Amino acid sequence: MKSTLFALGLTAISGAVAADPATACPPLLDLSVRRLAGEEVVNLCEAYRGQVILVVNTASKCGFTPQYEGLEALYRKYRDRGLVVLGFPSNDFLKQEPGSEEEIAKFCRLTYSVEFPMFEKVSVTKGSATPLFERLAAAGAPYPKWNFYKYLIDRNGNYVDYFASLTSPDSKKVAEAIEKLL
């Protein structure tokens, strides 16, 4: 009897200490990143938990740079339903993002009217990738092989799919994948 009460007590204590799965931070999003050209640090869990997320490695001087327009259109179309696009500029591929963060932010805003959240310039290639791209790879996503790889994350913070550079953000394939998660 005493051991049963002891075991029940431990269960109650461990249950109280264990994180509530509904509020626990998914490992993929359990990190903080700095806003582009700013000092504000954003915890991805706190800011985007419960939303469908499209993570994109971007570059301003790439043949795929016009995809900013499609990414912004996706963001505007679906943000009220829970989609957020997160842009991460990278200079990893043929130095196609050579500018400062201030220059990148100005280019995105003035050329493509980008309103979706953009974050610090990062590395995305295997062996030098920042934590978010390492975690995407650990979850089964390929490392980007070029600019404008798009990674879809569900509302529970799980990696779902990726779309390579050649898949335009305004493609039917991307829209269907997003709508399925919304």
Give me the active site residues, please: 62
Helix axes 67-78, 101-112, angle to 10 degrees: 70
Query: Could you tell me the two tokens for 56?
Result: 């994109």
Q: Which residues make Cβ contacts (< 8 Å) with residue 92, sequence separation at least 6?
A: 57, 123, 124, 125, 128, 144
84/73 Cα distance (integer angstroms): 11
- Rounded Cα distance between 76 and 170, Å, is 12
- Kindly report the CA angle at 127 between 126 and 131, in degrees rounded to 5? 80
